[in-house]
Structure 1
Amino acid sequence: MTFEEAATIPQSAIVALQGLRKKRQIQPGQKVLINGAGGGMGTFAVQIAKSFGAEVTGVDSTRKLDMVRSIGADHVIDYTQEDFTKSGKHYDLILDIAAHHSIFHCKRALSPKGIYVMVGGSKGAILQAMFLGPLISMFGSKKMGIVGYKPNKKEDMVFIGELFEAGKVVPVIDRRYPLSEVAEAFRYLEEGHHQGKLVITVEHNNKT
């Protein structure tokens, strides 16, 4: 594992793992949808879900779909052409990184005992999931909630490391920027076109 690859893991991969395992362990054959599959966290989520034996659907923009397929997604949805909450298909787990649908719309895309977990999105979407998710979960078989980063989970780091060593998870690095170009890296990130992660490199004694 290179330093650049290692730098991509601590937050994105760990939060993806924690989101996928928030309520219960994914079982082989279960249908998992990753909304925002082509970004830094989404690329890890697709690969981790596949390592559990899930049937994975990745949702993202047109230009990212080939990459999402290449890392293992069984199905892809172009959100500019199709709304997964209106397709009539149902999923055992929805991991929502983009959160551009209300949780009520996502609820209808869940299987009868399905789980919805938000791990990203706007402040409004996060607040909705925090306050309404538990209420929805109390009065039905579908569970909805939100997950945050827990940096003290050493076992999660070990688990991700084992997946990497086994070749089941490979960091997707879109671009590398020297520290002097960090502002340009943030501009590219804000455009939303990045596939996977961006890495900032630091030179020390003429070595990166």
Structure 2
Amino acid sequence: GTEGVVGLSRWFEKIESVFHISGRGIENQVKFATCTLLDAALTWWNGYLRTLGHDAAYAMTWETLKKKMIDKYCPRGEIKKLRIELWNLKEKVDKYIGGLPDNIHGNVMSARPKTLDEAIELPNDLMDQKLRTYTKRQTGSKRKFDNNNQAQQIPKRHNVAQAYVVGTGERKEFAGTLPLCNKCKFHHNGPCNTKCANCKKVSHLTRDCWNPTATTNQKTITCYE
């Protein structure tokens, strides 16, 4: 009886929840509810028992007891004030929800928030969820793009390397009519005048020279077709 309309309403809800869970019969609801009363509320109920008698008092219904307690602890002025506060709160909630983006407005409306705090927290949770989903999708798309790009680069590099090896390692077949020289391995007519860059003799190539004296950065003289 010290918390006014709000406290009494919460007590009603708590007691009715116990009725539902325990499955108590209608005839025992008033007995159970009144045995939980404390302080001034218990004093008020004991006085009511003495006046009306136990049998008559416990014979009343739960709804009748609720009405008597509302008349006792909830003055009309307080109830009217509470109704105005609830109406103003509802207006604030509706106004806040009405200003939300379209992509979450429907979700918030379907959740039917009862308080302004719930109306504020719910859109925040929904936006966080949407941002996490968007970030996850973006990360997955980037990973997929990187994997595809890497898969395309590997064959490309392999082909370039293969083309380089083929281009630098293989020699073209001679398409002319000149004979192949067994000495210098080039095609030409007449005697081979290829000179060794090491010993300056024409009897062999530089790669076949037996002279130990080695020179560097000298151009090898080759015969031209």
Question: Normalised by the size of structure 2, how large is the TM-score?
Answer: 0.20
Q: Does 1 or 2 have the higher relative contact order (CA < 8 Å, sep 6+)?
A: 1
Higher helix share: 2
Q: Highest CA radius of gyration, 1 or 2?
A: 2
Question: Normalised by the size of structure 1, how large is the TM-score?
Answer: 0.21
Higher strand share: 1
